[in-house]
């Protein structure tokens, strides 16, 4: 059931919301006196003007493992360098919920960067498990407390679509891990080498560690090269999920769904978003 707060939001005029630019209201025909030359969220000079919403191109292969590192990072770097085409959504912020899941916030920066926050963002700690519940470190759907960078997103004809990678929520945490080279397997690196679970005690290389930390890394969450680790967006060869939303001009909201494919099934949940106050 929709809360009273959300029902009230639904009835407000779109152009009156803080965080929603007048140009976006113009685009949907919800206000008058629009200036044709107004541009929403025009890039302010930061980032790559030719690659809206792209992550910084801040990694270069080096050393004797350069070729192997580049191959292992290829899909990850291609995803980070996939531009967003957000049109009038630039510079806006949306709040809502996933049915049966956490409250969410979808933020579109003026430079084309897009991020989906699930619940209250949690700060990662390198030596502790990240985005785990009491029951699981790999629940289906969005990981509550995680922030998902969106690359390759488009907005056209009132429809927003973007791939979304399950492990991207742990990308920052993965970057805190240490790449360990596999013995007798040059230029192959993993965050784990040898681990054991025995009741409530977990060890890695004979050192007692946080069991949630061990569980998250055991789930093929991170991929490593010689220079560091990152979120494994190709884990188990699972395709990326999708965020698919349609703007309803009469109710001034986005409705749609989020889907994450798994081995033999697909997690799907309905999504509703309103312009944020």
HSE-up (13 A, CA, CB side) for residue 180 = 12
Structural domain range at position 115: 4-275
Q: How confident is the model at residue 138 (pLDDT cuts 50, 70, 90)?
A: confident
Helix (H) or strand (E) holding 70: helix 66-80
Phi, psi of 26 (to 5 degrees): -60, -45
- State pTM to two decimals: 0.81
Q: How confident is the model at residue 15 (pLDDT cuts 50, 70, 90)?
A: very low
State the Cα–Cα distance between residues 248 and 9, nearest whole angstrom: 14
Structural domains in the chain (count): 1
State the Cα–Cα distance between residues 226 and 128, nearest whole angstrom: 22
State the Cα–Cα distance between residues 91 and 251, nearest whole angstrom: 21
159-164 and 195-198 strand pairing? unpaired
Which tens digits make up the pLDDT trace of 156-190? 999 999 999 999 999 999 999 999 998 777 899 99
Which tens digits make up the pLDDT trace of 42-51? 333 334 668 9
Confidence at residue 116, expressed as pLDDT on a 0 to 100 scale: 98
In 3D space, the residue among 106, 120, 118 whose CA is nearest the CA of residue 276 turns out to be: 106
- What does the DSSP assignment read for 237-270? GPPPEEEEEEEETTTTEEEEEEEEE-SS-EEEEE
Q: For residue 110, what are the contacts with CB-CB under 8 A and spacing of at least 6?
A: 40, 41, 42, 43, 44, 90, 91
Q: pLDDT at residue 243 above 90?
A: yes
In 3D space, the residue among 77, 39, 37 whose CA is nearest the CA of residue 55 turns out to be: 77
**What average pLDDT score do residues 100-123 get?**
97
Are the C-beta atoms of residues 77 and 59 closer than 8 Å to each other? yes
Least confident of 25-34, 64-73, 246-255: 25-34
């Amino acid at each position: 059931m929709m809360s009273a707060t959300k029902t009230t939001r639904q009835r407000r005029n779109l152009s009156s919301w803080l965080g929603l630019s007048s140009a976006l209201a113009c685009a949907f025909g919800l206000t008058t006196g629009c200036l044709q030359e107004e541009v929403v969220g025009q890039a302010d000079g930061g980032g790559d003007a030719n690659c809206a919403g792209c992550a910084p191109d801040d990694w270069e292969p080096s050393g004797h493992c350069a070729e192997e590192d580049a191959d292992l990072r290829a899909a990850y770097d291609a995803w980070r360098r996939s531009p967003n085409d957000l049109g009038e959504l630039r510079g806006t912020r949306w709040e809502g919920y996933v049915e049966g899941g956490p409250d969410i916030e979808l933020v579109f920066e003026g430079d084309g960067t897009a991020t989906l926050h699930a619940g209250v963002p949690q700060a990662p700690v390198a030596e502790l498990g990240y985005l785990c519940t009491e029951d699981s470190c790999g629940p289906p759907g969005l990981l509550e407390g995680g922030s998902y960078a969106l690359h390759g997103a488009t907005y056209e004809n009132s429809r927003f679509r973007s791939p979304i990678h399950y492990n991207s929520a742990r990308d920052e945490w993965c970057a805190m891990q240490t790449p360990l080279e596999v013995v007798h397997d040059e230029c192959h690196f993993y965050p784990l080498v040898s681990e054991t679970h025995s009741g409530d005690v977990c060890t890695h290389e004979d050192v007692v560690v946080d069991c949630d930390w061990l569980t998250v890394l055991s789930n093929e969450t991170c991929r490593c090269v010689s220079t560091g680790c990152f979120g494994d967006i190709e884990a188990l060869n699972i395709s990326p999920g999708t965020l698919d939303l349609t703007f309803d001009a009469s109710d001034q909201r986005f409705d749609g769904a989020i889907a994450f494919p798994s081995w033999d099934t697909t997690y799907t949940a309905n999504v509703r978003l309103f312009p944020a106050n």
